[in-house]
Amino acid sequence: MSDQILPKISVVIPIYNGENDLPDLINCLQLQTYPIEQVEYFLVDNASSDRTSTIIQNATQNFPQIHYLAETKIQSSYAARNAGIRAASGQIIAFTDADCRPQPQWLTELIAPFQNPNIGIVAGEIIGLPGKTILEKYAENQDVLSQKYTLAHPFLPYGQTANLAIRKEIFVQIGLFRPYLTTGGDADICWRIQQETQWKIDFAPSAIVQHRHRSTLTEFQSQWRRYGKSNRYLHELYGIKLMANVPKTEYIYSLSRWIVKEVPITSVKAIFGKANFLDLLNTPLTLVSKGARFSGQQSAQLPETAKIIEKIE
C-alpha cells in the first residue's frame, strides 16, 4: 500500500487498572511506523481504581493521537471495546491490550492483508515478553499465546483481541461485541462474522505484539480457568465440544512416570547442559493448567445478559 491509499486506523485498547503497563504501552504506540496522520488511539478506561485515568489524560496532552474514553457502566473489556468502536472514525479497527507491547511495524504489517477486498479480519502474531519466572518461561516455551492455536480451531478460525483488526463496516453489519461477556468474545465476534457474512480471515505473522505472561501460580491458574470458562460459554453459544476431564488415574500415572522416569533422566541431562529446570517441571505444570482449565469450564455458566448483542447505532 502506498501512503496515498493507506486506510485510516482506529486502535482500541481497553484498560482496567493499567497504571503499571500504560507507560510502556504508550511508548510503543508513539513508535509505530504507520503514518501518524492516519491513526487514532482510543484508550478506554473500564472503571479503573488506580491512576489509569490520569495517565491516559496526561498522554493526550503530549500525543494528540491518543484519546481518552471511559466505560463505567459495564465491567467488561468487550463493553470497553464497544465504546472505542462507536467513537472510531477509521476504516479499520485494530485491537490490543494494556499488557501488550506492539512492535514498531505492528500496524503497518497488520493492515497489509486488507489489500485483498475479501478480507474482513486480520490476526497478528502474539509472542511472550522475555520472562524471569519459571511460569513465564513455561508459557513462552509452550507458545501459550500464539494465534496459531486459535486460527486452527476445529469449529472456525479466530484471532485473539490482543492482536486483531476488523473492518469497521462489519460491525454495522453484525453488531458489536457482546458487552456482558467476560471471556470468549474474540472467538464469538470472529465466528459471527464468518457465519453471517462472506468476509474472510487472514493471518499477518509479521504484525507482532508482545504480551506479558502470568508470573505467579495464582495468575497462571486464573488464566487457565478463564480459558475453561471460555470453552463453556462458546459451547453454550455454538455447541463446540467441551474439554474432557483428566481422570485421577491419568494424573497419578503422569506424576508417577514423572518422578520415576522423567526426573532422573532430565536431571542427568541437566548435568551435561542438555536440559534445564524448566524441562524438569514441564509435566506438573501441564497437569496444573489442565486441571485449572477443566475447573473453569465446570464452574462457568453463561449469563443470560451475555447473549445480548449491541448495535453500533
pLDDT over 60 at 212, yes or no? yes
Q: Ramachandran region of residue 17, left (φ > 0), alpha (ψ -120 to 50) or beta?
A: left
> Interhelix angle for 22-30 vs 52-62, to 10°?
20
Contact 52, 17 (CB under 8 A): yes
pLDDT over 80 at 272, yes or no? no
* Three-state SS sequence of 6-65: CCCEEEEEEECCCCCCHHHHHHHHHCCCCCHHHEEEEEEECCCCCCHHHHHHHHHHHCCC
Banded model confidence at residue 276, pLDDT cuts 50, 70, 90:
confident
The full set of domain ranges for the chain reads 6-213, 234-307
The pLDDT value given to residue 180: 95
Banded model confidence at residue 261, pLDDT cuts 50, 70, 90:
confident
CATH of 6-213, one of 1.10.3720.10, 3.40.1800.10, 3.90.550.10, 3.90.1150.10: 3.90.550.10
* Cβ partners under 8 Å of residue 60, min gap 6: 66, 67, 68
With pLDDT > 90 as the criterion, what percentage of the chain qualifies? Answer: 72
Give start and end residues of each alpha helix (H) in the chain: 22-30, 52-62, 77-87, 106-111, 134-141, 147-150, 168-174, 185-196, 217-238, 248-257, 263-271, 277-299
| pLDDT (average), residues 40-62 | 96
DSSP-assigned letters across all residues of 214-236: P-SHHHHHHHHHHHHHHHHHHHH
pTM here is 0.91
The pLDDT value given to residue 4: 53
User: Which residue, 152, 159, 85, 150, is CA-closest to 119?
Assistant: 159
> Minimum mean pLDDT among 89-98, 184-193, 274-283: which range?
274-283
What's the CA gap between 280 and 134, in Å, rounded?
11
Indicate the average pLDDT of the chain.
92
User: Which residue, 29, 19, 80, 31, is CA-closest to 55?
Assistant: 19
User: Which residue, 82, 305, 284, is CA-closest to 176?
Assistant: 82
Helix (H/G/I), strand (E/B), else coil: 69 = strand
Q: How many CB atoms lie within 10 A of CB 80?
A: 28
Contact 280, 263 (CB under 8 A): yes
What's the CA gap between 256 and 177, in Å, rounded?
45
Q: How far apart are the first and last CA of the chain?
A: 31
For the chain, what is the largest distance between any 2 Cα atoms, rounded to a whole number of angstroms? 65
The pLDDT value given to residue 2: 46
Q: Mark 277-304 as b/e (b = at least 16 C-beta within 10 Å).
A: eebbbebebebbbbbbbbbbbbebebee
State how far the alpha carbon of 280 is from the alpha carbons of 144, 253, 277, in Å. Answer: 18, 17, 5
pLDDT over 80 at 278, yes or no? no
